[in-house]
Amino acid sequence: MPVGVRIVDDPSPSGDGMPVMDVPVFVGFAARGPLHRPVALDSAAAYAAVFGGGLDLVQAGSDPSERLVAHLPPAVQAFFAGGGRRCHVIRVAAASASAVRFTVPGLRLATHAGGQWQLRDVELRADSVGAWADRLSLSARVRSQALHAGAALHQGDVLRARHRDKPGVVAWRWVPAAAVLQASQAMHWITPDLPADVAPLEPDAAIDPATWLIERLQVDLALREPGQPMLRLEACGLAAGALHLPWWAADVDGRYDTDADLTGWPLAGVDASAPAGEWMLLPTGMSDEFTTWAPARLNGRQAIERNGLDAFDASLFVDPDWNDRLRGRPLMNWADDVRFFSDSPRRLRGLHGALGRDDACADEASWVLVPDAVHPGWHQTGQPPVRHVTVTTTADPVCTCPPATFDGCAPPPPVPPQPPRIAFVPLSAAPPAVLAADELFELRLLADPSDSGALQVLEVQRAGQPDFSDAVPIANAAPAQNIALSLPAGAWWLRARAHRGGLVGDWSQVAELDVRAAGWRALQGTPDEPVIDAATPVNAALLALCAASREHFALLALPQHWDRAAIDRHIHALRDEAAAVDTAEASSAASFVAIHHPWLLQRDGDDRLRRHPPSALMGLLARRSRVHGAWGAPGADPLVAALALAGKLQSADVLEVLGVNPLALRAGGIAAVRSQTLSLDADWTAIGVRRLFILLRRLCRREGQRFVFEPNDLTLRRGLERSFDALLQRLMQRGAFRGVDAASSYLLKTAAGAEAMREIERGECSLLIQVAPSRPLRFLTLHLRRSGEQLLIEER
């Protein structure tokens, strides 16, 4: 029997044919990543690769170690830990956010204009705005390949020519087209930065490969950050036409718009495109090793300003062209105009980005959360004072050796200098000393008054690692010097040693600096420092968005310090907002949002315990939507990420009376004990009912599109009934409806007889769907109607 290969088609089980209902949109503050663009993620690791880790905002109280942090990163982390599989994240920040820049050590840009070559330094910038790159440093090295006569030259090659008898002469040439290097061929060479006593070459001098060393050059780049592996970008081209030119690469916003990978090398070019005309990059002062490291240039702005979060209010979270008078159908018309029909269509920003722009976010997402809207706000407390760190020489110990005589005794050998002392003034001497990020940090080099020996030179290094594997020299000078420095937030280490008479002493004891963002502090809720209430307008905007689209549900959060009166005022304001929706469906507008409280104590990615709003519930809701159906309540399942209840605790009975869904400690852990919307209509109080109708609307939209261009006759109506009957049968079998059979669970009805003829004359086709959800006690109606080529879906 012949032996062969048998291929068996064994496809994975398909889904239930229903629209995706377990995908949320998170809107908030992230350390890095694209702005105002919904990025699809499928794991916590994917979030870290695109948006970084946690984000430190401001000082929370009088203690510098008590910090206010962004709630978005732990919310996404808890979502995936709780069973979520996919989400979209929208990072928000003000337009004032800026990116740090790096000067490439030893690399200069040569551009040809007006018959002359002009040189300037080359800068790169972080690929996204924010202070996340403050602790990065950049280095470069040149890689060369010696060429001989007959070697192939490729388009975009940069050649360097050096003569063994003329060490001061270095010539450069750009290869505009593929060619062959010939002996004694006249080529156009440039000779910048020649010594004054060296005559330049003629522009079209003939350079013989037999007597000149001619090399093809490329550049490798390296980035390092304390505690992280080094990143490299190798074999970078240096002129137009080369294969790999990262010097004018797009940032993450540009890469997102072109569907490119958002992870990887985290730097972008300064300009959007290469300069016009002839240009090439010259590694004039670069070695073949990563020796010189250039730190980030922080441009004098504090970290929170570079993050675009120095002004905290509701405008951070909404589209700048939206106003609170846009509700219902006018809001959706406005959104369509901005996205598709204006003279300059653009993507909606902030939480309105959940509507998407004909992308995956618009098709998938049906939950919206804005966890960072609950911050109390912050204000600037003034510039921190100048701090001093002193490095003082240590006097040599008193010599106890006998004096030199003439009987053959030699004088004592020279003694290396003693390790210097590092002290923090006026800070506590107990390490680690706490400094403020971006403040003026003055390093003072002092001499011990009792030291009468020869003049010493103090060498000082800083490092981001305690083993000084990434040490950077910050001083190498004699005492009586003051050096102004600034350090970005994080842990730093200092050490020093003395040089004297050609001898080098031992390193001093290592001094640890704990640098934290300062100059800004969270508002304390006092008459002198009233908090900024961004939660109310942001939650109202969320309610208006969901009530207008009718295909999104918002999980709202409350500030942790609110008492019963503040919660009651907030809920009344939201219900007033729902009542202002000027549509026939206004009575159910409040059913698109729900509030859960109190806050939760969670363990963040840096292994620290912090308080966060109850966004961790989203993972459980997503998992139950996927397993049990969109109509399923969270039940008594415990929240995986929640360790304890936190914040100002109210009793569960009080929260329920107010309309809030309380979280409580149960035998299995912390769980939601109520699953209600803010609606006062008994038919729409259950979250599962509203979520079921969102599912049905998406089903109507998906299935209805199939019949838009069909002939408008009785056959079309029979096809609609058959299609939706099969779908509703499937939902009934999964327990979405209260009835035990089709007759008691749902009703499908299309026009017949004379009414059908009148619809056909008007160019319309309608389908009436009545369902009995598991919770309500009467039928609720969904009306699907085609008018011309437009689908209309109405709830009754």
- Band of residue 429 on the pLDDT scale cut at 50, 70, 90: very low
For position 307, what pLDDT does the model report? 94
482 strand-pairing partners: 444
388-to-204, 254, 502 alpha-carbon distances in Å:
57, 43, 29
- Note the pLDDT of residue 103: 93
Q: What is the pLDDT of residue 777?
A: 45
Could you tell me which residue, 474 or 537, shows the higher pLDDT? Answer: 537
Residue 37's pLDDT band, with cuts at 50, 70 and 90, is: very high
Joined tokens for residue 380? 């600037």
Which of the residue ranges 58-72, 132-146, 491-505 would you say has the lowest mean pLDDT? Answer: 58-72
Residue 453's pLDDT is 60
Mean pLDDT of the 547-566 span? 93
Cβ neighbors of 353 (< 8 A, separation 6 or more) are: 25, 27, 36, 37, 38, 90, 319, 347, 361
Task: For residues 588 and 567, give the distance between their C-alpha atoms in angstroms, rounded to a whole number.
Answer: 21
Mean pLDDT, range 588-608, rounded to an integer: 92
Q: Which residues pair with 662 in a beta bridge?
A: 597
Token pair, residue 448, equals 């011990």
Q: How far apart are CA 219 and CA 234, in angstroms?
A: 7
Lowest mean pLDDT: which of 207-221, 392-406, 533-547, 616-630? 392-406
pLDDT classification of 86: cutoffs 50, 70, 90:
very high
Confidence of residue 766 (pLDDT cuts 50, 70, 90): confident
- Buried b / exposed e across 85-120, counting CB within 10 Å, b at 16+? bbbbbbbbbbeebbbbbbebbbbbbbbeeeeebeee
200: pLDDT strictly greater than 70? no
Residue 122: pLDDT above 60?
Answer: yes
Report the pLDDT value the prediction gives residue 781, as an integer from 0 to 100: 65
Helix (H, G, I), strand (E, B) or coil at 484: strand
Whether this model's pTM surpasses 0.75: yes
In one letter, which amino acid is 178?
A: A
**Which residues make Cβ contacts (< 8 Å) with residue 286, sequence separation at least 6?**
105, 106, 107, 140, 141, 142, 219
How many other C-beta atoms can be found within 10 angstroms of the C-beta atom of residue 190? 20
CA-angle at 601, arms to 597 and 602, nearest 5°: 120
| Band of residue 13 on the pLDDT scale cut at 50, 70, 90 | very low
Q: Which two tokens stand for residue 457?
A: 């030179």
**How confident is the model at residue 408, as a pLDDT?**
57
What is the separation, in whole angstroms, between the first and last Cα of the chain? 69
Distance CA 671, CA 639 (A): 6
User: Around Cβ 464, how many Cβ atoms within 10 Å?
Assistant: 23
DSSP bridge partners of 124: 102, 269
Tokens 């004297």 — which residue? 500
CB 793 within 8 A of CB 776: no
Number of CB atoms found within 10 A of residue 288's CB? 11
Query: Which carries the bigger pLDDT value, residue 584 or residue 482?
Result: 482
Q: What is the mean pLDDT of residues 535-556?
A: 95
Q: What confidence score (pLDDT) does residue 547 get? A: 93
Average pLDDT value for residue range 701-707: 79
Q: Which residues are registered as beta bridge partners of 117?
A: 112
- pLDDT for 18 equals 84
Query: Helix, strand or coil for residue 341?
Result: helix
Q: Which domains does the chain have, with CATH numbers?
A: 24-95+310-378+527-674 (no CATH), 101-300 (no CATH), 387-397+415-518 (2.60.40.10), 699-795 (no CATH)
What is the pLDDT, as a whole number, of residue 366?
93
Q: What is the pLDDT of residue 423?
A: 85
The CA distance from 643 to 602, in Å, is 6
Beta bridge partner(s), residue 771: 746, 780
210 CB-contact burial (10 Å; exposed 0-12 / middle 13-18 / buried 19+): exposed
Q: How far apart are CA 653 and CA 630, in angstroms?
A: 27
Average pLDDT over residues 639-650: 86
Confidence of residue 792 (pLDDT cuts 50, 70, 90): confident
For the cut 70, the answer to whether the pLDDT of residue 199 exceeds it is no
| Phi, psi dihedral angles at 488 (to 5 degrees) | -70, 165
**Would you tell me how many other CB atoms lie within 10 Å of the CB of residue 738?**
17
The answer on pLDDT for 675 being more than 70 is yes
429 or 131: whose pLDDT is higher?
131
pLDDT band for position 302 (cuts 50, 70, 90): confident
pLDDT of residue 783: 72
Within 13 Å, how many C-alpha atoms sit on residue 720's CB side?
Answer: 29
Asked if residue 344 has pLDDT above 60, the reply is: yes
* C-alpha 722: how far from chain center: 47
Q: pLDDT: is 201 or 330 the higher one?
A: 330
**Mutual angle of helices 328-336 and 535-549, in 10-degree steps:** 90
Q: How far is CA 91 from CA 130, 535, 623, 734, in A?
A: 11, 17, 24, 37
Helix (H, G, I), strand (E, B) or coil at 566: helix
Residue 162 has pLDDT above 60, yes or no: yes
What is the token pair recorded at 275? 């300069």
What strand order describes the sheet that includes 599-603? 609-612, 599-603, 644-646
pLDDT class for 665, splitting at 50, 70, 90?
confident
HEC string of 231-294 equals: EEEEEECCECCCCCCHHHCCCHHHHHHCCCCCCCCCEEECCCCCCCCCEEEECCCCCCCCCCCE
Greatest mean pLDDT among 242-256, 373-387, 410-424, 441-455: 242-256
What percent of the chain lies above the pLDDT cut of 70?
88
Least confident of 273-277, 540-544, 551-555: 273-277
Kindly state the DSSP code that residue 338 receives in the 8-state scheme. I
Contact predicate 459/323, CB 8 Å? no
Identify the band that residue 428 occupies on the pLDDT scale cut at 50, 70 and 90.
very low
Contact 377, 316 (CB under 8 A): no
pLDDT digits (tens, 9 = 90+) for 279-288: 889 998 899 9
Taking alpha carbons only, the member of 203, 228, 4 closest to residue 116 is 203
| Cα distance between residue 92 and residue 317, in whole Å | 7
Q: What DSSP letter does each residue of 97-111 carry, written as one string?
A: --B-EEEEEEEEEEE
Note the pLDDT of residue 403: 61
Interval 110-131 mean pLDDT = 86
Q: What mean pLDDT is reported for the chain?
A: 85
C-alpha span between 576 and 596 (Å, rounded) = 19
What local confidence, expressed as pLDDT, does residue 198 receive? 46
For 114: left if phi > 0, alpha if psi spans -120 to 50, otherwise beta; the answer is: left
**Which residues are CB-contacts of 481 (< 8 A; sequence separation ≥ 6)?**
444, 445, 475
**Which residues have CB under 8 Å from 757's CB, separation 6+?**
none
Judged by average pLDDT, the poorest of 283-287, 531-535, 547-551, 617-621 is 283-287
339 DSSP 8-state letter: I
pLDDT score, position 29: 97
430 vs 160, higher pLDDT: 160
User: Angle formed by the axes of helices 535-549 and 564-579, to 10°?
Assistant: 30
Distance CA 730, CA 726 (A): 6
Top-confidence range, 185-199, 593-607, 636-650: 593-607
Does pLDDT of 380 surpass 80?
Answer: yes
Q: Say whether pLDDT at 258 is over 80.
A: yes
